[in-house]
Amino acid sequence: MDNCNSLLDDAELVYLYDGTLEGMLAAVFTAFARHEDPANIVEAGDLQESMLCSYVPVTTELRYATRVKNGITEKLGERCYEDIKKVFLSDDAQKGGVLYRYIRYSLKAGRWSFTHLAEPEVADFVELRARVEKEAHCMLQFVRFAQLENGVFFSRIAPRASVVPLITDHFARRLNVQPFIIYDSVHGLASVFDTERWWLADARTLTVPKNSSVEDEYQALWQCFYDTVAIEERKNPTCQRNFMPKRFWGNMCEHIPPELRRKQPGTATPTAVARLGAARQKLLEEGYTP
Amino acid sequence: MELLDKLTILADAAKYDVACTSCGVSRKEVKGQLGNTMNAGICHSFSADGRCVTLLKVLYTNVCSYDCSYCINRRSNDVPRTTFSPRELAELVIGFYRRNYIEGLFLSSAVLKNPDYTTERMCEALRLLREEYGFRGYIHAKGVPGTSDELLVRLGVLADRVSLNIELPSEESLRLLAPEKSKASTLGPMAFVRDGIKANYQDKQLSTVRRTRFVPAGQSTQMIVGATPESDYQILRLSASLYRTMELRRVFFSAYIPVNSDPLLPTGTEAPLLREHRLYQADWLMRFYEFDVGEIIDEDEPFLDPLIDPKCNWALRHIDQFPVEINRVPYEMLLRVPGIGVKGAKRIVMARRHHSLRFEDLKRLNITLKRAQYFITCNGAYPEGVVFDPLSIYTLLAGETKKRRAKGVLDGQLQLLA
């Protein structure tokens, strides 16, 4: 180990890889080949070095990655490989170590290792997988499209895992007559659908055309519907935030505060809700009984 | 009138209907048409009251010829009235669906002239949406009690789910508060829909890919809780029998919120939200945990204990069956342990095949031990520092509830073990 930059002899071993799935699998292969036990595998780019770790860069050899992939699909099944790809999309700083330990454990324990939920290697993996799946589901719920002037529907998201590849299929099937772009501003990734097929595009920077002329109208209608359906007597903000954490609100048009909305609803006439309230109040004051 | 005002009026008038689910049917997409449905349903937003928004929930019209005391739309209320045109409504649904705001449409209506006329108008709006706009998303349509069979057939083919509201848990209350409705006018159409759904499965000619199915997502109903004197016992007995005889997918409960002042209605009370919550817990036990209604509640104590949930209540009454050994107890009994849900029980069954589980393993399986700890052993050992005594367990669990709900908890419900 020539690249030892730690001050301690028993420092934790950390592999550095290039951020690709192949790089990750090649790093796992390297650990097997060298009989080493890395505590974590992290992307070389976004590294905050710790003095307690020694860092070893691993080169991405495609043939090594392929051997690990084939080993997994043959011994553990396609499904297991799909799960590994899913966990790879996580933003968790520990994902490299979790993946490595799960692969090592499973190759030893065999096809049914995914049921060994109480084993730490499996429990950590299952938890990360669940978090990625949860994030993907939240996107199915909270993605908001806006129609651009060129007719394409555009959505900006900021998820905690790079879930665009997991969610695009859902929207492509559902909205199949409608071209759209889903842009993940955190991971710099976009998916593009042209009503025939969809593909991923690297998108560090993006210039978005203006909204179409009807867009403000629909957003105003939706905001007005959203505000109206809440029942005052049942107000429960904690419950609301549990189901729909505030970190998603920034990209959802119904959460734009009224003063910042582009089209103000009901400015010409008092809103129906106010009228209902006034009518009821008047009746009560008059001592109304049916 | 502007569309924005119409939407406000007709959404405001529909919001007291609690059913808002888009689940129960998978319909694949078709090239060139907008939309599909997913069996699990998707919630697209959560309103300030914490309820899920999955469908555009509106009335077709709030012009009503009925005068039900509890209802905001009763004809004697002086409120602004309006009606959608079918095209307006369809444009709204399509516009919202394209932006991923909703899973589809929930269309209810006040009674315009008479039930048949109302249903005919609703069918026309849905037909336009399905046929002209090719919409394949989810549609939940309200059946108006007293609608004729022919119109129900039309409605049921266009919609995924149909629901007829029981409204109040007894005939007596219905007569008092909703004089134009009766048990028979609701149960008749409900039974008709049930038979139609059954025919889906029996009619062999329908089993092609392009079949038209009748109410594929099943039917549901709802009743108002707290407006009339019925007990939880009566309400749960009624919903159990509706599940059994009418084969409903869901029975919804709606805590009574006073919107009208009427001498026949309770006044000034807070909405009984905790009671509604307990009823839903009991409902879950019947639908997913294989409890019989008789195990949850009986005539001697006709109200659910507000301080502890119905499953804890059952466990404390059957304390002789506890604690159970987590490594050996069958799945059915695992489901009956307070604090262990369907997912948790499945995880335990899966994990214990590999090796026997200790308490720290349970934590790794994401099992919350707060309630479960009193009712289980791991390899014969009871958790350290926990006392197995029904009375103290009750006090501790009830204390938790009190802490969580600093207000709104009823007193004088401690008769369980006293």
pLDDT at B416: 31
CA distances from B225 to B53, B287, B321 (A): 22, 20, 33
Residues 6+ apart with CB under 8 A from B298: B233
Q: Does B148 touch chain A (CB under 8 A)?
A: no
A–B interface: beta-carbon pairs under 8 A: 194
Same domain, B177 and B323: no
Same domain, A259 and A174: no
**CB pair distance less than 8 Å for A228 and B15:** yes
pLDDT at A272: 43
Q: Does A239 touch chain B (CB under 8 A)?
A: yes
Same domain, B216 and B328: no
| Assigned domain for A56 exists | yes
Q: Give dist(CA A261, CA A81) in Å, integer.
A: 46
By Cβ distance, the residue of B31, B49, B76 closest to A236 is B49
Residues of chain B contacting A120 with CB distance shorter than 8 Å:
364
Same domain, B214 and B326: no
Say if residue B397 is exposed, middle or buried (CB neighbours under 10 Å; 0-12, 13-18, 19+).
buried
pLDDT at A271: 46
| Assigned domain for B109 exists | yes
pLDDT at B362: 94
pLDDT at B407: 47
A124 CB-side CA count, 13 A: 16
**DSSP symbol at B257:** -
CA distances from A187 to A167, A205, A251, B64 (A): 15, 11, 15, 53
CATH number for position B21: 3.20.20
Q: What is the pLDDT along chain B (418 residues), one digit of tens a residue?
A: 789 999 999 999 999 888 778 888 888 899 999 999 998 899 999 999 999 999 999 999 999 999 888 888 999 888 899 999 999 999 999 999 999 999 999 999 999 999 999 999 999 999 999 999 999 999 999 999 889 999 999 999 999 999 999 989 999 999 988 888 888 889 999 999 999 888 876 665 554 444 568 899 999 999 999 889 999 999 999 999 999 999 999 999 999 888 887 888 877 667 788 999 999 999 999 999 999 999 999 999 999 999 999 999 999 999 999 999 999 999 999 999 999 999 999 999 999 999 899 999 999 999 999 999 999 999 999 988 888 899 999 999 998 888 776 544 333 333 233 2
pLDDT at B179: 87
- Residue ranges in chain A whose pLDDT is less than 50: 1-4, 6, 266-276, 288-290
Same domain, B209 and B316: no
Domain that holds residue B29: 3-220
Find, among B107, B104, B181, B170, the residue nearest to B147 by Cα. Answer: B181
Q: What is the pLDDT of residues A156-215, one digit of tens each?
A: 999 999 999 999 999 999 999 999 999 999 999 999 999 999 999 998 888 889 999 999
By Cβ distance, the residue of A115, A140, A243 closest to B52 is A243
CA distances from A158 to A135, A144, A183 (A): 10, 12, 9
| Assigned domain for A2 exists | no
Q: Is the dihedral of CA A77, A83, A88, A92 positive or negative?
A: negative
Residues of chain A contacting B74 with CB distance shorter than 8 Å:
290
Domain that holds residue A78: 12-132
Q: Give dist(CA A121, CA A135) in Å, integer.
A: 22
> Of A202, A224, A244, which residue sits at a domain end?
A202
Chain B CA closest to residue A218: B95
Cα angle for residues B202, B204, B206 (degrees, 5° grid): 100
Q: Does B265 touch chain A (CB under 8 A)?
A: no
> Of B190, B220, B250, which residue sits at a domain end?
B220
Q: Give dist(CA B236, CA B282) in Å, integer.
A: 8
Chain B CA closest to residue A141: B44
Q: Does B263 touch chain A (CB under 8 A)?
A: yes
Say if residue A215 is exposed, middle or buried (CB neighbours under 10 Å; 0-12, 13-18, 19+).
buried
Joined together, the tokens standing for residue A64 give: 């090594």
pLDDT at B203: 62
**CB pair distance less than 8 Å for B53 and A289:** no
By Cβ distance, the residue of A146, A243, A276 closest to B79 is A276
Q: Does A258 touch chain B (CB under 8 A)?
A: no
| Assigned domain for A181 exists | yes
| Assigned domain for A43 exists | yes
> Of B179, B204, B220, which residue sits at a domain end?
B220
Binding-face residues of B in 84-113 toward A, CB within 8 A = 92, 95-96, 98-101
Q: Does A153 touch chain B (CB under 8 A)?
A: yes
The total of structural domains in chain B comes to 2
pLDDT at B409: 37
CA A58 to chain centre: 27
| Assigned domain for B289 exists | no
By Cβ distance, the residue of A174, A178, A229 closest to B47 is A229
Binding-face residues of A in 61-90 toward B, CB within 8 A = none
| Assigned domain for A290 exists | no
The total of structural domains in chain A comes to 3
Q: What is the CA radius of gyration of chain B?
A: 24
Residues of chain B contacting A248 with CB distance shorter than 8 Å:
none
Chain A CA closest to residue B272: A234
Chain A CA closest to residue B273: A234
Q: Does A270 touch chain B (CB under 8 A)?
A: no
Binding-face residues of A in 122-151 toward B, CB within 8 A = 123, 127, 140-147
Same domain, A247 and A277: yes
| Assigned domain for B23 exists | yes
**CB pair distance less than 8 Å for A174 and B36:** yes
DSSP string of A42-99, one letter each residue: EESTT----TTEEEEE----HHHHHHHHHHHHHHH-HHHHHHHHHHHTB--TTHHHHH
Same domain, A109 and A17: yes
> Of B186, B220, B254, which residue sits at a domain end?
B220
End-to-end CA, chain A: 89
**CB pair distance less than 8 Å for A118 and B361:** yes
Q: Does B40 touch chain A (CB under 8 A)?
A: no
Same domain, B320 and B185: no
Q: Does A117 touch chain B (CB under 8 A)?
A: yes
**CB pair distance less than 8 Å for B99 and A144:** yes
Same domain, A18 and A69: yes
Same domain, B14 and B114: yes
Same domain, A31 and A127: yes
pLDDT at A204: 81
* Identity of the amino acid at B194: R
Cite the DSSP H helix spans in B128-264: 149-158, 171-177, 183-202, 232-245
| Assigned domain for B53 exists | yes
Q: Give dist(CA A17, CA A49) in Å, integer.
A: 14
Chain B CA closest to residue A214: B95
* Identity of the amino acid at A76: L
| Assigned domain for A218 exists | no
Q: Does A8 touch chain B (CB under 8 A)?
A: no
